[in-house]
Structure 1
Amino acid sequence: MKRRSPAGTGKPRKANAWSYSAEFRAIADAALRRFNSQRHLHPICGAKAKSTGEPCRQMPAKGRTRCKLHGGATPRGDGAAGWHTPGFPDGLPTGKPRSDALKARKRRQRRAVIAAMTADELARLEAWRRTHKPGGARERAHGRVALEARRWLDSIMAETPTVPTPEMAELDALRAQLRAHLARLDAEDAAAVVEPVPDAPLVGGLFD
């Protein structure tokens, strides 16, 4: 079997006599035995393995709680070292929706438009502000739905109770009779329970 050279060298790898010696194998075997004897003291990954469905028993990656096969090697954090996180040396660039500079520019533009309004336009703006609550369209729609539901509940609570019909009175009488019958049965069951006498001899066994 032909040995492949290490990646990036392009030169054939020479066999190291020390790595194949009995002393080297003894040292490696002792290190593995020592590691396996102390492995139960180290934390484990614990993620659900797809192959077996059982918790993973591998050691987590350095500084992580999962092994490299279950996300422990995935880059984390913000900035260029993060994962799917845009990183900018001077913060978010101007023009982005989340940019503070964009929000400040929008506020300046609104103030300039209001300052250029005439008296009639300012009056219409004030009237519109009095009839419209601040917030987005979604919040206003949610408020309208809640107000309609409140009015519907108030109308139901304000309705006068209906006059009982003969059928309803008959049903109420039947319910009262059933409740009285159940209470009488419960009282009879309670009276039929006899407290056992301690250390009393059994009279009449099953096979007597």
Structure 2
Amino acid sequence: MSLTKKQRDFLNSAHFKEARMRGLKNAWAKQANGPKCGAKTRADGAPCRKPVAEEGQRCRLHGGATPKGKNWHRRQFPKKGAPLSKLQKKLSELKRRDGKAEERRAAMSPEERATHEKRRKANRPGTPTERQQARDGRKAKKLIDDLRQNKKPDSGEISKLEAHIRKLEGQAQKLKLDQYDEDELPEVFK
């Protein structure tokens, strides 16, 4: 992109150069007085002097770019408004990584695969509370599905109660029969 004569004149003017230097000095002062990474460097063990956004954080070279928080295990995509090339690069990286993982799984023996699947199912991502809520949700969904299909919940207590009800109904029937003489019995009970 070429600049017009007016633009070139402005960029070369003393006013612009002074404003640019003021901006640079402010940025340098903010960087010099702001919080630093502080991680121990491998070279000499001195604290890292790279600037960070907040006190207590680390620079990107010392783990500051590592995802943290409750979404650390989820795939992180570029923010809305980022260039399309960044998204395409992320998608191709994920496709490559998924392909490598699939190759590793294909190369596993059946025993290794069974161990892998068992561990994968046991170690679901999320906090313990989130995992417990998911388990409770699955149980509730199963119960609702059973009720919709008119199935009784699989419970030993219900079958015991039903057996007890049948026993009591049988006893009630015997008591009714004992109240009547043979001649007075209703036709149904003869």
TM surpasses 0.5 = no
Q: Give the TM-score normalised by the residue count of structure 1.
A: 0.31
Greater Rg over alpha carbons, structure? 1
Indicate the structure with greater helix content. Answer: 2
TM-score, L = length of structure 2: 0.34
